[in-house]
A and B are shown apart, each in its own frame.
Chain A
Amino acid sequence: MFMDDDFTDDAMSGVASTIQKLEDLLLVTVPRDLMDDQVLSLRREVVKHIRLYNSLWVLLDFSQVDICDSYFGRFIQSMANMVRLTGARVIISGLQDAVIETMVELGMTLPDVRAVLDLDEALAMSRTNGKVDADTSETELAELSFLDSSTFDFFEV
């Protein structure tokens, strides 16, 4: 019987398959209906794979997710904090403009996380930036090029 190590853990089935290596990036497809127990195993697997591949960036792909509420915000933040401890950084992609706008209006700021439009942009960024310096790459959701700071001010009450 064939038994891949990654699939022996029950909670992991379906999680391991969402993690792929692409150059310096670790590509993580965030499941549409992310559940609490999945979050834990996903975080564990991501760290494991960062070590395995020496990844510099973790790209969280949200293209399957259409309702990105504070639960996902919390997930992104905890993932970013944890990934940072390994020396890598989190990038997010695949969020529709309307969803990003709504996240800002909701009041979600994600310090230390970069958002890009798609995989191409993520790759381009990882190729030009290489290993990031922890002190100089602070980027907030509100500072992204496609959301200027006035958009953010407007949403502040």
Chain B
Amino acid sequence: MHKSVGIEGATRILVKRDADIVLVCQRARSLAADLKFSGNDQVALVIAISEIARNIILYAGEGEIFIKTVFDGDTPGICIVARDQGAGISDVSLALQDGYSTGGGLGVGLPGARRLMDEFEIDSKVGQGTTVAMIKWNR
């Protein structure tokens, strides 16, 4: 994971209801537009965030998402950190597999978000919660 990942200086948005997902996605999209991300990259970023945010509401009840601009030399990117204090994931590598779902879903959220972003890291402890950190670069 790139050294610039983190929550310092980031905008923090509480995620508790569906409307909060819309808010996070709007914020990310306008930031991506400001940074001249291509249309496809904007959609990819927003859908990845939407997946992670839905997981928070579905599996942890509530959490928070941090958004900020980061740089790798001259290359701008958007860093997303999503954090909750829910039940956590007992087998992260299983949860990252396509089609795996404990919630009757398609099981595409986590593996899909990983594919759509350039950098993706998930840290989860049972009983403590889950943190997903990801970056999309505008290369």
Given contact pairs A68-B47, A69-B51, A98-B43, A107 touches B105 in the complex (Cβ within 8 A): no
When the two chains form their complex, are residues B115 and A69 in contact, meaning their CB atoms are under 8 A apart?
A: no
When the two chains form their complex, are residues A101 and B112 in contact, meaning their CB atoms are under 8 A apart?
A: no
B43 CB to closest chain A CB (Å) equals: 4
B70 CB to closest chain A CB (Å) equals: 22
Task: Pick the contact of A70: B25, B43, B46, B106 (CB < 8 A).
Answer: B106
The docked-state distance in angstroms from the alpha carbon of A98 to that of B113 is 16
Chain B residues, Cβ within 8 Å of A71: 50, 54
When the two chains form their complex, are residues A105 and B106 in contact, meaning their CB atoms are under 8 A apart?
A: no
A155 within 8 A of B: yes
Give the B-binding residues of A (Cβ under 8 A): 33, 35, 67-71, 73-74, 77, 96, 98-99, 101-103, 105-108, 155, 157
When the two chains form their complex, are residues A67 and B47 in contact, meaning their CB atoms are under 8 A apart?
A: yes
When the two chains form their complex, are residues A70 and B112 in contact, meaning their CB atoms are under 8 A apart?
A: yes
The docked-state distance in angstroms from the alpha carbon of A103 to that of B112 is 9
- Which chain A residue shows the least CB distance to B25? A67
When the two chains form their complex, are residues B109 and A157 in contact, meaning their CB atoms are under 8 A apart?
A: no
B111 within 8 A of A: yes
Interface residues on B, range: 20 to 34
New contact pairs (5) apart from A33-B19, A68-B47, A101-B43, CB-CB < 8 Å: A35-B18, A70-B112, A71-B54, A73-B108, A98-B42
Given contact pairs A68-B47, A102-B43, A107 touches B112 in the complex (Cβ within 8 A): yes
The 10 lowest CB-CB distance pairs between A and B, nearest first, are A106-B112, A107-B108, A69-B50, A98-B43, A98-B40, A102-B43, A70-B108, A107-B112, A69-B47, A107-B98
B132 within 8 A of A: no
The docked-state distance in angstroms from the alpha carbon of A74 to that of B111 is 16
The docked-state distance in angstroms from the alpha carbon of A102 to that of B136 is 14
B92 within 8 A of A: no
Chain A residues, Cβ within 8 Å of B40: 98, 101-102
Given contact pairs A105-B115, A106-B108, A70 touches B98 in the complex (Cβ within 8 A): no
Task: Pick the contact of B105: A74, A99, A102, A106 (CB < 8 A).
Answer: A74
The docked-state distance in angstroms from the alpha carbon of A157 to that of B46 is 21
B44 within 8 A of A: yes
The docked-state distance in angstroms from the alpha carbon of A102 to that of B50 is 13
When the two chains form their complex, are residues B39 and A73 in contact, meaning their CB atoms are under 8 A apart?
A: no
A37 CB to closest chain B CB (Å) equals: 11
A112 CB to closest chain B CB (Å) equals: 14
When the two chains form their complex, are residues B116 and A106 in contact, meaning their CB atoms are under 8 A apart?
A: yes
B22 within 8 A of A: yes
When the two chains form their complex, are residues A105 and B116 in contact, meaning their CB atoms are under 8 A apart?
A: yes
Given contact pairs A67-B46, A74-B105, A98-B43, A107 touches B111 in the complex (Cβ within 8 A): yes
B118 CB to closest chain A CB (Å) equals: 13
The docked-state distance in angstroms from the alpha carbon of A107 to that of B22 is 22
